[in-house]
Structure 1
Amino acid sequence: METLHLIVLALIQGLTEFLPISSSAHLILPSQLLGWPDQGLAFDVAVHLGTLLAVVAYFRQDLIRMLVDWSKSVTGGPSTQNSRMAWYLVWTTFPAVIFGGFLSVTGLDDAMRSATLIAGTTLIFGALLGWADRKGKLSQPLEHLTLKQALIIGFAQAVALIPGTSRSGITMTAGLLLGLTRDAAARFSFLLSIPVIVAAGSLKILQLVSADVPVEWGILFSGIAISAVSAFVCIHYFLAFINRIGLMPFVIYRLLLGVVLLGVLWL
């Protein structure tokens, strides 16, 4: 992998994993526009590990409190906000895992990797995000999230397995439609990404081991570092400005991106 390819693809993964703009839509652009070769499974594993390290590092204090209170609740201790949030993250991960397993077994996951489909879902779910940002009550803090609401967001996350949907985009959309504030919807979306990235990364590692392909460790560690730093910066500034700027800039960007993708495909 050339150095330029490495930097650009790692940055794309780090930034688009958490912004509501669809990472899959962006990852097809270099190949479609520039003719770059596929980056390979090992590199995919590396950049996913980088984004995982970023979100865990950013929410480390919250995660420690959740883990401590959850451990106490398992052994008969009192239920707290932190322990409930930990359980929410557990239960809401199952829809994506089950749906992902179904797609993998049936082969639909490969069948859906269509540039036309990605362009269409980028437009459709981008418009839906804009509608949610305009129509949502935007009043409920994360502390008041219920199990029912969390499960609805979890099922929305399963829909994100359709390429171009954007995992963060669809989960924020669901959160906004349920009345969460923008900050609350974003924070829960980011926390919810942790078990999903772990599950997806574990599957990719198994595929990598079974494929028995040569590993270029220098490229992989560089990919991890670049994606981790860019993802951490992305999370920080997104949460700092989300209530001030809203989600419409991302909606407009998605609509333009979808149009560009369709234009590239049809020309």
Structure 2
Amino acid sequence: MDLWHIIILSILQGLTEFLPISSSAHLILPSQLLGWPDQGLAFDVAVHVGTLAAVVWYFRRDVARLSQAWLTDTYHRRVGEDSGLAWAVIAATIPAGLAGLLLDDMIEAHLRSGLVIAFSTIGFGLVLWWSDAVGRRERELPGLRLKDAVIIGLAQALALIPGTSRSGITMTAALFLGFSRDSAARFSFLISIPLIAAAGLLKVIELINLGEAADWQSIALGAGISFVSAVVCIHLFLKFLERLGLMPYVIYRMLLGVVLLVVLW
């Protein structure tokens, strides 16, 4: 891969993994518009590792606190506020994990087209706007119940449809449930950790089975750039979320979907 390909694709992955604008929609554009070659499985693994490291590092205090509370309270057979949130993260992960195991081959065969990505980018963007418009935004993370986590987890399973945006659909569900934008975003980031880790592990296993030669320089550069861009993305997104709302991302999704339709129709 050329250096500019590595830089641009790594930045795209770092930004779009966590913004509600669909990473699959963006990663299809360079190949469709510029004729870039496929980046390869090893590079996909690298940028997944970079984004996983970014979200774990950014929320390291939360991850450490929730993990310690979960271990302690589970041992003592009790549920506190932090261990309850940890159980909620687990509950929200299960639906998407099961859906991925059961439906990934079908989705790979039938839903990986550019037109599907274009329509889902627009459609789920409108649903995001609706949730932000009608959501009460009164609830915060300490009030999240197991039922809420399961609903958000079921919504997260829809992110298997290319163009949906995992962060976008989970925030949509949380907003419909009455959570504030900040709480919706933070829970979305927390539940991304086990899913990105699982997706990265599957890609590593696939890479080992294929026995592909690895360009370690490109892998290290891709992981580093995606890490930095993801950290910056998370920080700025949370900083300006309440001030800007979600409408800028909705408008962006509409424009992106139209561009994809014009290019691919």
> Structure 1 CA distance, aligned partners of 2:175 and 2:141?
11
**Secondary structure of the structure 2 residue equivalent to 1:28:** helix
Deviation at 1:129, TM superposition (A): 0.3
> Structure 2 CA distance, aligned partners of 1:71 and 1:143?
19
Instruction: State yes or no: 1:159 paired with 2:146.
Output: no
**Alignment match, 1:133:** 132
Deviation at 1:102, TM superposition (A): 1.1
Residues 87-126 of structure 1 correspond to what in structure 2 (within 5 A)?
A: 87-104=87-104, 106-126=105-125
Instruction: State yes or no: 1:258 paired with 2:237.
Output: no
> Structure 1 CA distance, aligned partners of 2:197 and 2:108?
18
**Alignment match, 1:73:** 73
**Alignment match, 2:230:** 231
> Structure 2 CA distance, aligned partners of 1:38 and 1:110?
18
1:130-182 CA distance string (max 9 Å, x none) = 01111100111111111101110000000001000000000000000000000
Residues 1-267 of structure 1 correspond to what in structure 2 (within 5 A)?
A: 1-76=1-76, 78-104=78-104, 106-266=105-265
Deviation at 1:112, TM superposition (A): 1.2
Q: After superposing the two structures, state which structure 1 stretch, 16-25 or 135-144, moved more.
A: 135-144
The two structures, once aligned, show a CA RMSD in angstroms of 0.9
Q: How many residues align?
A: 265
1:176-235 CA distance string (max 9 Å, x none) = 000000000000000010000011111111100000000010100000000000000100
**Secondary structure of the structure 2 residue equivalent to 1:229:** helix
> Structure 1 CA distance, aligned partners of 2:43 and 2:256?
25
Letter in 1 for 2:177: L
**Secondary structure of the structure 2 residue equivalent to 1:18:** coil
> Structure 2 CA distance, aligned partners of 1:84 and 1:110?
38
> Structure 1 CA distance, aligned partners of 2:196 and 2:38?
21
Deviation at 1:91, TM superposition (A): 1.6
Deviation at 1:89, TM superposition (A): 1.1
> Structure 2 CA distance, aligned partners of 1:187 and 1:199?
20
Deviation at 1:79, TM superposition (A): 2.0
**Secondary structure of the structure 1 residue equivalent to 2:160:** coil
> Structure 2 CA distance, aligned partners of 1:200 and 1:33?
27
Letter in 1 for 2:143: H
> Structure 2 CA distance, aligned partners of 1:110 and 1:8?
27
Deviation at 1:108, TM superposition (A): 2.9
* TM-score with structure 1 setting the length: 0.98
**Secondary structure of the structure 2 residue equivalent to 1:39:** coil
Letter in 1 for 2:50: G
Structure 2 contact 93–191 (Cα < 8 Å) conserved: yes
Deviation at 1:257, TM superposition (A): 0.4
> Structure 1 CA distance, aligned partners of 2:115 and 2:107?
15
> Structure 2 CA distance, aligned partners of 1:159 and 1:141?
24
Deviation at 1:77, TM superposition (A): 5.3
**Secondary structure of the structure 2 residue equivalent to 1:120:** helix
Q: After superposing the two structures, state which structure 1 stretch, 176-185 or 93-102, moved more.
A: 93-102
Kindly report structure 1 stretches of 4+ aligned residues shifted beyond 2 Å: 106-111
**Secondary structure of the structure 2 residue equivalent to 1:137:** coil
Letter in 1 for 2:162: P
Structure 2 unaligned residues grouped into runs of 5+: none
> Structure 1 CA distance, aligned partners of 2:146 and 2:107?
30
